[in-house]
Amino acid sequence: MLLECMVQEGVDCFFGYPGGVTLPFYDALYDHPIRHVLVRHEENACFAAEGYARATGKVGVCCATSGPGATNLITGLVDSMMDSIPIVALTGQVHSSLIGSDAFQEADTFGITRSCTKHNYMVKNIGELAQIVHEAFYVAASGRPGPVLVDIPKDVFQAMGHYTPVHSIHLPGYKVFTEGHAGQIRRAAQMIWEAERPMFYAGGGIIAAGASSELQELVELVDAPAVTTLMGLGAMPSGHPNFISMPGMHGSYAANMGLTQADLLIALGVRFDDRVTGRLAAFAPRAKVIHVDIDPAEIGKNRHPDVPIVGDVKRVLQKLNRIVEELKPAEEPRNAAPRRAWMHQVRSWKEEFPLAPVTSDTEIKPQHLMSEIDRVSGGKAIVTSDVGQHQMWAAQLIRFDQPRLWINSGGLGSMGFGLPSAIGAQFARPGSLVISLVGDGGFQMAIPELATIASYGLPVKIVVMNNGYLGMVRQWQDLFYNNRLSSVTLDCFPDAEKLAGAYGFKGRTVSQPHELAAAIDECIAEPGPYLLNVKVSPFENVYPMVPAGGAISEMVMGPPQPAVVK
């Protein structure tokens, strides 16, 4: 019955790790065409399901047994909750008669996951199984996407029953607002034409809604600059003349100054995250705000909007585009010259303060590594990452010309995310080039998944940016803790060639700048998986940088320069 529910929901593969109470399910799976991917750790089952979901827009599915299996999913559930990724997690539970008795491998999965899922269920009897599973998929994918957990006791797994198709979902307390208020949309269109310094601020909601083409249409119609958040990269083609870059703590000068000096923010599918806004009171102080989001809880949570619009951003943009076109002035308006000057100013900032690669003749700079990945990617490859310096340099320097190519842990910042999410993405899109760009810290949290990659022959290209440190933590200790480097040194890293060879595929370590291009080409050309360990300069810091508590206009553009004594 559970497998039939999954078939009806379009599931073609899922990620999991079996255990005692899920044995009846795995026994049924033995004869079923749905593909189960055996990962090597349950946390990675959820990360892989996220990679699948982020690469396709479909619901990702993971499965774990009771007790430690279920609790190992928690980090992945929080990660998908923070980044609004549709996941259905299936967990086993001890026999109903044993719940509350501290039975072997019992945990209060339902209680533990209440705060880290969009919704969760415990199935009490076989009669409600099908209805609950279909509801779980509906809740995960509708409205603002997110993770839903279904906890199934062993006696329910063992019960007998007939599958009855579920033709409708009726959840009286669950409301999804999709269309947006017509009057507010028209008011927003009028404000867009009245503004002298409008700026588009788009986030992961654009990608979740499949609204990239609508966003690009509006940006071109209005001819205003656009920035996309870390989660929104790819929503605008990186080479688009109106696209500026990513804003925020490690965003560009042009993006941050543009947001600071804009008189109108068109905020689309964003949540005014602290990593973008910096000191909230100083964020876009001169701007009126149009805020479009499908989640009413996000409207006004961090920044009061002048025009709030609750609705699916794709549908809202379709309506907004028509009205903006309808209201477009027939003759040149009085604010035409200021608008042209504004566009020119933001583009000038972009040219004057570029996010550009840094190279050296003596050591591989991290930015050099990103430029080589960008070269072979051409804006078309799927790139997954962990969290940290490599994530920020990748966001700054690697092009993403389409949505669903940049897969990273945004809100939670989970180390160990990059490798298992690449597994999910490669299963989701087997014909695509998938590059897992990871740090030496995060990679070592996910090393067991090399076995999964080898077992399934996945052609994932693993590129480790190895600086011998927990890089972002070291950067903060360097800049704000008097360079007192406490517990951040990663001084023991496996030999990449031997490690990959132990799993039956190729690997290599490079440390010289002149070796890098050829090594990257060799990595990409290999038909199977490849592990490339790139030793980069250990003390490079990510700039620009906004110090904690600072306004995004208060950027540190580079390392401190020694005083010149005259």
Q: What is the pTM of this model?
A: 0.97
pLDDT digits (tens, 9 = 90+) for 498-510: 999 999 999 999 9
Please give the class, per CATH, of domain 366-535.
Answer: alpha beta
The model's confidence at residue 292, banded by pLDDT at 50, 70 and 90, is very high
The answer to whether domain 182-352 and domain 366-535 are alike in fold is: yes
**Over the chain, what is the mean pLDDT?**
97
Every domain of the chain and the residues it spans: 2-158, 182-352, 366-535
Query: What's the mean pLDDT in 440-460?
Result: 98
Q: So which residues are the catalytic ones?
A: 42, 104-105, 154, 472
Given a cut of 80, whether residue 460 has pLDDT beyond it is: yes
Which tokens belong to 57?
A: 């827009």
Given a cut of 70, whether residue 563 has pLDDT beyond it is: no
Contact 447, 503 (CB under 8 A): no
The model's confidence at residue 564, banded by pLDDT at 50, 70 and 90, is low
Residue 356 burial (10 A CB sphere; 0-12, 13-18, 19+)? exposed
* pLDDT for the residue numbered 399: 96
The model's confidence at residue 167, banded by pLDDT at 50, 70 and 90, is confident
The model's confidence at residue 214, banded by pLDDT at 50, 70 and 90, is very high
Given a cut of 90, whether residue 71 has pLDDT beyond it is: yes
Under the phi-then-psi rule, with left for phi > 0, alpha for psi from -120 to 50, and beta for the rest, what region is 155?
Answer: alpha
Percentage of the residues of the chain whose pLDDT score is greater than 70: 99
Given a cut of 80, whether residue 306 has pLDDT beyond it is: yes
The model's confidence at residue 560, banded by pLDDT at 50, 70 and 90, is confident
pLDDT digits (tens, 9 = 90+) for 516-534: 999 999 999 999 999 999 9
List the one residue out of 366, 429, 376 whose CA is nearest residue 403: 429
Q: Are strands 288-293 and 226-228 parallel, antiparallel or unpaired?
A: unpaired
The model's confidence at residue 565, banded by pLDDT at 50, 70 and 90, is low
Query: What's the mean pLDDT in 535-543?
Result: 97
Question: Any residues with CB less than 8 A from the CB of 389 and at least 6 apart, and which?
Answer: 366, 439, 465, 467, 471, 472, 475, 540, 541, 542
* CATH superfamily entry for domain 2-158: Thiamin diphosphate (ThDP)-binding fold, Pyr/PP domains (3.40.50.970)
pLDDT digits (tens, 9 = 90+) for 399-438: 999 999 999 999 999 999 999 999 999 999 999 999 999 9
pLDDT higher for 330 or 14? 14
The Cα–Cα gap between 404 and 428 comes to 11
Query: What's the mean pLDDT in 226-236?
Result: 98
Query: What's the mean pLDDT in 441-464?
Result: 98
pLDDT digits (tens, 9 = 90+) for 169-191: 999 989 999 999 999 999 999 99
The model's confidence at residue 378, banded by pLDDT at 50, 70 and 90, is very high
**CATH number of the domain located at residue range(s) 182-352 in this protein:** 3.40.50.1220
Beta bridge partners of 90: 63, 150
* pLDDT for the residue numbered 566: 67
Residue 531 burial (10 A CB sphere; 0-12, 13-18, 19+)? buried
* pLDDT for the residue numbered 333: 92
Question: Any residues with CB less than 8 A from the CB of 65 and at least 6 apart, and which?
Answer: 17, 18, 19, 20, 21, 22, 91, 92, 105
Beta bridge partners of 508: 532
